[in-house]
Amino acid sequence: MRARSRTDTEGMKALIIDDSRAARYAVRRMLRQLGFTEVYAAPDAATAQEILDTEASFDLVLCDHYMPEINGLDFVRSVRAQRGHADLPVIMISAEHTAEHIDRALHAGANEYLVKPFTVDDLSSKLDLLPASSPIGQRWVVDRVNAAVSSVDSAGCS
């Protein structure tokens, strides 16, 4: 799978929700490597909801599955019920890798599920799978078309 270029996500805004400071730091670095220019982080779902309510729209949320007080599943269900965030792309992140955990996250409304620990390439691959109707998906479709056209042009097939 082709690595996502920095132009795919340039200007994109993401929110990381994880009770682990180390995880927030690592995911922030990965998103910056992928070209996200605005990356917010929250240690819990309540703080994340405040950020969603006060900041301009986000392009992506990465949410830990297990957090104190409000877990990731309940947070995603809540976001999906909110008018302004119902279509917000959400990737659930967790060390749990059973089919049951993944199924619960997807049924709660997560678009994708990423098992910890993961690499920037793993994250990029999940971004590739986000809906084409989302800003990230739209940019990715345009980038793939441009890459295909460049490939055809460089092969001398104009």
Q: What is the pLDDT of residue 32?
A: 94
Bridge partners of residue 62, in order along the sequence: 16, 91
User: Strand, helix or coil at 64?
Assistant: strand
* Stronger pLDDT, 51 or 139, i.e. the higher one: 51
pLDDT tens string 16-52? 999 999 999 999 999 999 989 999 999 999 999 999 9
For the chain, what is the mean pLDDT?
Answer: 85
For residue 108 the two structure tokens come to 């709660």
User: Cis peptide leading into 117, omega within 30 of 0?
Assistant: yes
SS3 3: coil
* Helices within 13-134 (DSSP H only): 21-33, 45-54, 72-81, 99-108, 120-128
Residue 130 pLDDT level (bands cut at 50, 70, 90): confident
